[in-house]
């Protein structure tokens, strides 16, 4: 992880220099750096629709208001999608019924003691076996959605073609409890509709229709620009209430895999394994 992370960060820097000279500034998303022109805030009431070659946002009246083509992918490559994942746990559905619901509860941490312009993301997420990630995200620091020296939440959909959509960023306070939920809302043949949101933070709901099946579940600490351990919140973050159910109401028997950066002082432990009321602790 160490070597590959260092390598990836270097390649990201090189890619960002290349892109900057091409005139399209990079901004940070929970899926890594993206061209600013492809990072799009969803107006209230709109939703996201996957088509065969693009992701469109649709307004409340059903009109297409923004289309992101998948054709002009950035040069970052698929590996780079994982850049910045510092401590995380994951489960890949091995072909059981589709994941129907994935919830996680955590408390907004204290503000980091130091601010070096770093960005910290904490989230649970579902991904297809391919391009894309749907995630209700807590962030500290700047991203393409805005932000700064405070905690805030937004729901994001980011793909490997460089596109990112987010709901308007909502500031939150240390100590506030966040209830994140990603839910399968409909299935039609090989396409799937999902909703992701913080169920207790208004304005964070995102609908995604016509998506491929989301088969990879993750609990993640992702960070960029951290220069000292004090750039993280002190103490630990506990992801609890981790419930993962499959279509048909089935609770699978699962074991979470995990990876962290203990050498740099950040670790994740699986305190309660499995798909019911799971609990994990990220310690900084």
Of 205, 220, 237, 267, the residue at the interface with ligand NAG (CB under 6 A) is: 205
Residue 157 to residue 178: CA distance in whole angstroms:
19
> Which range of residues in 63-71, 187-195, 218-226, 254-262 is near ligand NAG by CB under 6 A?
187-195
22 touching ligand NAG, by CB under 6 A: no
User: 54 and 70 in contact (C-beta within 8 Å)?
Assistant: yes
User: 47 and 3 in contact (C-beta within 8 Å)?
Assistant: no
**Phi, psi at residue 7, to the nearest 5°?**
-65, -45
Of all helices (H) and strands (E), which one includes residue 20?
helix 2-21
Nearer to ligand NAG, 186 or 234 (CB): 186
Of 188, 248, 249, 263, the residue at the interface with ligand NAG (CB under 6 A) is: 188
Site map 224..263 versus ligand NAG, x via CB under 6 A? ----------------------------------------
Nearer to ligand NAG, 43 or 174 (CB): 43
How far, in Å, are 30, 78, 131, 191 from residue 212 at the CA level? 20, 17, 9, 5
For the bound state, the minimum distance from the C-beta of residue 141 to ligand NAG, rounded and expressed in Å, comes to 26
Task: Say how many residues touch ligand NAG, by CB under 6 A.
Answer: 8
Of 61, 71, 189, 202, the residue at the interface with ligand NAG (CB under 6 A) is: 189
User: 164 and 31 in contact (C-beta within 8 Å)?
Assistant: yes
Nearer to ligand NAG, 168 or 225 (CB): 168
User: 251 and 103 in contact (C-beta within 8 Å)?
Assistant: no
Residue 57 to residue 241: CA distance in whole angstroms:
31
Of 124, 135, 207, 245, the residue at the interface with ligand NAG (CB under 6 A) is: 207
Tokens of 36: 């600013």
Nearer to ligand NAG, 21 or 188 (CB): 188
For the bound state, the minimum distance from the C-beta of residue 191 to ligand NAG, rounded and expressed in Å, comes to 7
Name the β-bridge partners of 261: 266
Residue with tokens 């994935």: 102
CA geometry: angle 273, 278, 284, nearest 5 deg: 90
61 touching ligand NAG, by CB under 6 A: no
Residues 107-146 that bind ligand NAG (CB under 6 A): 129
Q: Work out the number of other CB atoms within 10 angstroms of the CB of residue 140.
A: 25
For the bound state, the minimum distance from the C-beta of residue 184 to ligand NAG, rounded and expressed in Å, comes to 12
Binding site for ligand NAG (CB under 6 A): 45, 47, 129, 188-189, 195, 205, 207
């Amino acid at each position: 992880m160490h070597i590959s992370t260092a390598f990836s960060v270097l390649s990201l820097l090189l890619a960002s220099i290349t892109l900057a000279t091409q005139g399209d500034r990079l901004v940070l998303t929970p899926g890594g750096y993206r061209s600013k022109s492809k990072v799009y805030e969803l107006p209230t009431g709109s939703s996201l629709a996957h088509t065969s070659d693009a992701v469109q946002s649709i307004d409340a009246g059903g009109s297409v208001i923004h289309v992101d083509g998948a054709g002009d992918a950035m040069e970052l490559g698929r590996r780079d999608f994982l850049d910045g994942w510092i401590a995380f746990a994951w489960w890949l559905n091995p072909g059981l019924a589709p994941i129907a619901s994935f919830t996680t509860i955590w408390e907004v941490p204290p503000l980091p003691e130091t601010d070096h312009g770093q960005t910290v993301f904490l989230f649970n997420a579902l991904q297809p076996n391919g391009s894309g990630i749907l995630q209700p995200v807590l962030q500290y620091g700047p991203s393409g959605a805005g932000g700064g020296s405070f905690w805030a939440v937004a729901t994001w959909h980011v793909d490997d073609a460089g596109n990112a959509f987010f709901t308007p960023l909502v500031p939150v306070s240390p100590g506030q409890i966040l209830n994140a939920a990603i839910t399968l809302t409909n299935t039609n043949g090989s396409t799937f509709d999902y909703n992701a949101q913080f169920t207790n933070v208004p304005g964070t709901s995102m609908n995604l229709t016509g998506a491929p099946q989301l088969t990879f579940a993750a609990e993640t600490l992702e960070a960029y620009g951290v220069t000292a351990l004090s750039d993280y919140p002190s103490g630990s973050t506990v992801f609890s209430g981790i419930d993962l159910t499959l279509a048909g109401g089935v609770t699978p028997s699962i074991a979470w895999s995990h990876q962290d950066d203990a050498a740099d002082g950040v670790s994740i432990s699986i305190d309660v394994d499995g798909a019911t009321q799971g609990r994990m602790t990220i310690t900084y």
